[in-house]
Amino acid sequence: MSQDWERGWLELSVSALDVVSRVETLEAVEAARVEYLGRERGRLTALLRGLKDLPLEQKKVYGPQANALKDAIEKSLESRKRALEAKALEAGLASSRVDLTLPAPPWPRGRRHPVSETMNEMTSILGRLGFSLAEGPQVETDRNNFEGLNVPADHPARDLQDTFYLKDLPLLLRTHTSPVQIRHMEANKPPIRIMAPGRVFRHEAVDASHSAVFHQVEGLYIDKNVSMADLKGTLSVFIRGLFGPKAAIRFRPSFFPFVEPGAEVDVRCLLCAGEGCPACKRSGWMEMLGAGLVHPNVLRFCGIDPEVWSGYAFGVGVERIALLRYGVPDIRMLYENDLRVLEKLAP
Ligand code: FA5
C-alpha cells in the first residue's frame, strides 16, 4: 500500500506541474484541474486522502510535500488561465473591425418641446418683472372659470360649443387660465403679482392658429392705483423681451367680462412681415393676448375692496408666441410631433 502510494507520488510530483504549465486552451486548464485536483477522482486528491494510511514517519515527510504540490498546481492553473484569457482578448480585438481611435458616433440628445421652451421663456421674463408662480387645476368649477370672473349665466362663452363639460359632474375643463386669478385672490391678500402658466381646453374648430387644447400664461397684478399705463408698460417689455426690441405691437380695445377697460394685443406677423398669410388670417397681425383692468365685480367676488385696490390682468396664448418665434405657419405642426419638424425648430 505504502509502495503504491510512493509510486503515485513520484509520478505526480515529476509530471503534474510540467503538464499544467503547458496546457494551451482554457478547456485544457479545466481538464487538468479535474485530473489533479478534482474532488472525486483527482489524482492528487486521492494521494492526499491516502496519506492517513501511511506509516507515521512517511506521513511526516510526504504530508507537507503533497500539500505544497497542491498549492503549486493551483497557482500554476490560475496563472495559465489568466495568460490564456489575455491572449484570447488580444486576438479578439485584433480580429474585430472596431477602431477604438475613431470618435464616438453622435449621441442623439433630447430637448424641450418648442411649446415648453416658449412657456419657460415667458415665465422667465415675467419672473424678472417680479411675477411669482401660481397654479390651478385643469378641471375647474363653473364658479371659478365663469361666475367669479363676472361671466353671466347667459354669456356665449358658456355655450356648449366652447366649453368641455364633464359628464354627470358640475365640472368643466378650464377654458382659460383666468380661474387661477380667483383662486389666488380668494386665498391671498393684496398686493399680488402672479403668473399662472398652464393648459386650457376649448371646444373649437381647429385651424392654422386655433387648437382645441393649448396653453396660456396668465398675469395678475393687484395694488393701489394700478392703471392702464402700468399694464401697457409691462406688456410692452414682455413682448419685446420675447421678440426683440423692434417687435411691432398694437393695443386694440376689446371686451372681456372680467376686465374694464379691456384690450387685445397683436404682434405684427413675423411670418409674413405684416403682408398677410394663413397664420395671421391675412391681416398682417397676430392676436397674442387679452388684457385689461380687473373688473370691480371680480375684486368684490374675491373679498377685495375695489375702492382701495385696483389691478390689471392678462392672458397670453403660448402657441401663438411659439408660431412667431419659430416661424411655424400652422399650430398643428407643433402637436403632430414629427421629429423632422421638431428637430428643425430647436436644433
Ligand atoms: C382669454 O382667454 C382671457 N382669459 C384672457 C384675459 C385674461 C383677458 C385676463 C383679460 C384679462 P382669449 O379667449 O382671447 O382670452 O384668449 C387669450 C389668448 O389665447 C388669445 O389672445 C390667443 O393668443 C390664445 N388663444 C385663444 N384661443 C386659442 C386657440 N383656440 N388656440 C390657440 N391659442 C388660442
- Taking the centre of ligand 1 as the mean of its atom positions, its distance from the CA of residue 290, in whole angstroms, is 6
Write down the pLDDT at residue 134.
Answer: 98
| pLDDT greater than 90 at residue 286 | no
Ligand 1 atom closest to Cα of 320? 23
Q: Provide the pLDDT confidence category of residue 344 given band limits of 50, 70 and 90.
A: confident
Nearest atom of ligand 1 to the alpha carbon of 288: 23
pTM confidence score: 0.72
Per-residue 3-state assignment (H helix, E strand, C coil) for 165-225: ECCCCCEEECCCCCHHHHHHHHHCCCCEEEEEEEEEECCCCCECCECCEEEEEEEEEEECC
The CA dihedral of 12, 15, 16, 17, to the nearest 10 degrees, is 130
Is the Cβ atom of 176 under 6 angstroms away from ligand 1? yes
CA of residue 216 to ligand 1 center, whole Å: 7
Best residue for ligand 1 mutational test, from 287, 318, 321 (most atoms within 8 Å of Cβ): 287
| Ligand 1 near 216 CB (within 6 A) | yes
Mean pLDDT, rounded, of the chain: 91
Is residue 43 within a helix (H) or strand (E), and if so which, with residue range?
helix 43-50
333 alpha carbon – ligand 1 mean position (Å): 20
How far away, in angstroms, is 38 Cα from ligand 1 center?
83
For ligand 1, atom 25, which residue shows the shortest CA distance?
A: 317
> Is there an atom of ligand 1 within 6 Å of 289 CB?
yes
pLDDT at 98 over 90: no
Count of Cβ atoms closer than 10 Å to residue 189 Cβ: 10
CA dihedral 29, 33, 35, 37 (to 10 degrees): 170
Mean pLDDT of 145-159: 85
Closest by Cα among 228, 249, 226, 227 to 237: 249
CA of 189 to the centre of ligand 1 (A): 26
Which of 170, 175, 171, 169 shows the shortest CA–CA distance to 155? 175
Nearest to 5 by CA among 51, 37, 64, 38: 51
**Residue 347: its pLDDT value, please?**
61
Dist. CA 337 → ligand 1 center (Å): 23
Residue 157 has a pLDDT of 67
> 223 pLDDT band (50/70/90 cuts)?
very high
What pLDDT is attached to residue 97?
74
| Per-residue pLDDT at 161 | 59
Nearest-5° angle of CA 326, CA 328, CA 333? 120
